Amino acid sequence: MSVLLRSGLGPLCAVARAAIPFIWRGKYFSSGNEPAENPVTPMLRHLMYKIKSTGPITVAEYMKEVLTNPAKGYYVYRGMLGEKGDFITSPEISQIFGELLGIWFISEWMATGKSTAFQLVELGPGRGTLVGDILRVFTQLGSVLKNCDISVHLVEVSQKLSEIQALTLTEEKVPLERNAGSPVYMKGVTKSGIPISWYRDLHDVPKGYSFYLAHEFFDVLPVHKFQKTPQGWREVFVDIDPQVSDKLRFVLAPSATPAEAFIQHDETRDHVEVCPDAGVIIEELSQRIALTGGAALVADYGHDGTKTDTFRGFCDHKLHDVLIAPGTADLTADVDFSYLRRMAQGKVASLGPIKQHTFLKNMGIDVRLKVLLDKSNEPSVRQQLLQGYDMLMNPKKMGERFNFFALLPHQRLQGGRYQRNARQSKPFASVVAGFSELAWQ
Ligand code: SAH
């Protein structure tokens, strides 16, 4: 670890990051007030029409329409991330975050026998900042990765964000290949010469030895909400408010609905959120990792099957009523890691969730911060580095609210032999960086 971190990964402050006091989505409260009025957005008009024609919709359908409707969805047309957007994420706060994740992938690649090729696959890459920081680490450690063929695969539903990602990541001189009708809707070459492709669905990413990354991705997947009543579980729906024009409201379904199947039989809470889409994605990741090796790293805010009502909205760095002006605010719900673990069970091993401050500490954030501080004479840069560290690590800020969770092949934790590259075959190390202190094998 010390070799990597002390060797001064990457340019010191080449990566300008947001000034800090913005809201992150893991947070529940802000000084913001709800908008006094309820503007009739194109999305509200669309939803009112839909509800009038076919009846109230589930919260999951509401979330899906509002966030990813191809014509009017929030992610499809808003530039929502960062200082000028609606919320801020760890990679946008500090370059160290992505650097340490880059080291995590290299550490896993080394621990599992240094395969001759791997795919780096990110789900929901936002502005491309995180993968950019990871690729910078790969470049800096070119001597370690020199005989390895790397390709980058981004799963992104937003055309607007995919354009921003391409601007951040690709080499201008190599024109992007675009094919809107194809599952691979865009292709190019990164600034460091690595092939990069865009997909709308994980299903379309080629199977093969891969490292998967999902940072603040699972929290935007649609959730069904349920409430316990004397008659049993009843699902929460979104309906038109008959009392106020152009306003939506929550109602309870009069009878049982199919998504109830996702609630555990021994559930003791009286209000739960379930996310079938998260289960489908974890199953797909687990099957891929079991079949071809690699690992998945999921980082998000969430709980271990304990929280009840976490569905919320963010607009302009303030908490926002989820039913007001739909399409103008981000919608999110805490990730239930106990559900992710259940969906992976039997196929792959899982680690975590562990708190962000523990994971980053184990990955050597303090050493990396010190290197960057020692190299910087600029007070504003030093201040930004320290503020960024505090935001990521402080238990009252992102340090405790965000969690890391990993999926790994069973053999990775059992000391089995690595099969893919017989020449370099060696037993798997049992220590997984981040979940234990980073140590080079
Ligand atoms: N990982 C980034 C961005 C998080 S925001 C960061 O941490 O900064 C959520 C991201 O997921 C956005 O890029 C959004 O467009 C994308 N997204 C939302 N729903 C998606 C879906 N169903 N499939 C693929 N990407 C999705």
Which residue has better confidence, 423 or 409? Answer: 409
For residue 214, give the ligand 1 atom closest to its CA. Answer: 1
Residue nearest to atom 11 of ligand 1 (CA): 124
CB of 217 within 6 A of ligand 1: the answer is yes
Q: What integer pLDDT is reported at residue 5 of this predicted model?
A: 45
The answer on pLDDT for 54 being more than 70 is yes
Q: Residue 396, class by beta-carbon neighbours within 10 Å (0-12 exposed, 13-18 middle, 19+ buried)?
A: exposed
| Ligand 1 neighbour 155 (Cβ under 6 A) | yes
- CA of 215, closest atom in ligand 1: 1
Secondary element (H or E) of residue 398: helix 398-401
- Ranges of each domain in the chain: 42-221+274-412
Sheet holding 312-315, edge to edge: 318-320, 312-315, 330-332
**pLDDT of 130 above 60:** yes
Question: What does the block give as tokens for 203?
Answer: 């299903």
Q: Which of 220, 301, 314, 402 to mutate to test the pocket of ligand 1 (most atoms within 8 A of CB)?
A: 220
Buried b (16+ CB within 10 A) or exposed e, 152-176: bbbbbbbbebbebbbebbbeeeeeb
Let me know the angle formed at the C-alpha of 147 by 205 and 292, rounded to the nearest 5 degrees.
Answer: 35
Q: What is the mean pLDDT of residues 316-322?
A: 88
Cα 125 to ligand 1 centre (Å)? 6
CA-CA distances (angstroms) from residue 390 to 18, 113, 204, 369? 14, 35, 38, 11
Handedness of CA 149, 150, 155, 159 (dihedral sign): negative
pLDDT at 229 over 50: yes
Q: What is the pLDDT of residue 81?
A: 64
Distance spanning both ends of the chain, measured CA to CA: 10
For residues 69 and 272, what is the distance between their CA atoms, to the nearest angstrom?
25
3-state secondary structure of 114: coil
Q: In terms of pLDDT, which residue wins out, 15 or 126?
A: 126
158 lines ligand 1 (CB under 6 A): yes
Q: Which pLDDT score, from 0 to 100, does residue 80 have?
A: 64
**pLDDT over 70 percentage in the chain:** 86
Maximal CA-CA distance, the chain: 72
Distance 230 CA to ligand 1 centre (A): 38
With contact defined as beta carbons under 8 Å apart, do 220 and 66 qualify?
no
CA of 253 to the centre of ligand 1 (A): 30
Indicate whether residue 121 lines ligand 1 (CB < 6 A). no
| Residue 274: pLDDT band with limits 50, 70, 90 | very high
Q: From CA 401, how far away is CA 364, in angstroms rounded?
A: 20
Question: Which token pair is 354?
Answer: 């562990």
Name the helix (H) or strand (E) containing 239: strand 232-240
Beta bridge partners of 262: none
DSSP state of 38: -
Ligand 1 centroid to Cα of residue 159, in Å, is: 11
Q: Provide the angle, in degrees to the nearest 10, between the axes of the packed helices 365-375 and 95-111.
A: 130
pLDDT tens digits, residue range 140-153? Answer: 999 999 999 999 99
Give residue 6's pLDDT.
Answer: 42
Of the listed ranges 232-246, 387-401, 421-435, the least confidently predicted one is 421-435
Ligand 1 centroid to 131 CA: how many Å? 13
Is the pLDDT assigned to residue 389 strictly greater than 60? yes
For the CA of 122, the closest atom of ligand 1 is 1
- Mean of pLDDT values over 296-300: 98
Q: Is 89 in the pocket of ligand 1 (CB under 6 A)?
A: yes
Contacts of 135 (CB under 8 A, 6+ apart): 102, 120, 152, 169, 190, 191, 192, 194
Span 219-229, average pLDDT? 97
**Residue ranges in 308-376 assigned as alpha helix (H):** 337-344, 356-362, 365-375
In what helix (H) or strand (E) does residue 401 lie, and over which residues does it extend?
Answer: helix 398-401
- Name the pLDDT band for 172 (thresholds 50, 70, 90): confident
Average pLDDT of 106-128? 96
Residue 261 has pLDDT above 50, yes or no: yes
Residues facing residue 377 across a β-bridge: none
| pLDDT of res. 163 | 93
pLDDT (average), residues 27-51: 73
Element (H, E) at 149: strand 149-155
Does the pLDDT of residue 95 top 50, yes or no?
yes
Report whether residue 157 contacts ligand 1, using a CB cutoff of 6 Å. Answer: yes
> What number does CATH give the domain 42-221+274-412?
3.40.50.12710
Question: By percentage, how much of the chain surpasses pLDDT 90?
Answer: 77
* 117-123 vs 57-58, strand pairing mode: unpaired
Backbone angles phi and psi of 388, in degrees to 5: -60, -45
What is the Cα–Cα distance from 81 to 330, expressed in whole angstroms?
10
Residue of the CA atom closest to atom 2 of ligand 1: 126
Q: Give yes or no for residue 430 having a pLDDT over 70.
A: no
Q: Are strands 294-303 and 177-178 parallel, antiparallel or unpaired?
A: unpaired
**Is a pLDDT exceeding 60 seen at residue 36?**
no
What 3-state class would DSSP assign to 388?
helix
DSSP string covering 77-105: H---BSTTSSBB-HHHH-HHHHHHHHHHH
Q: What is the mean pLDDT of residues 213-233?
A: 97
The continuous run of DSSP H or E covering 164 comes out as helix 159-169
Please state, rounded to an integer, the average pLDDT across all residues of the chain: 89
* pLDDT at residue 308, rounded to an integer: 95
Q: pTM for the full model?
A: 0.91
**Burial group, residue 364, by CB count within 10 angstroms (0-12, 13-18, 19+):** buried
Is the model's pLDDT at 3 over the cut of 50? no
Q: What is the DSSP string of 113-141?
A: T--SEEEEEEES-TTSHHHHHHHHHHHHT
Whether residue 251 contacts residue 235, with contact meaning beta carbons closer than 8 Å, is answered with no
- Based on its alpha-carbon atoms, the radius of gyration of the chain, rounded to whole angstroms, reads 22
Question: Distance between CA 136 and CA 301 in Å, rounded?
Answer: 26
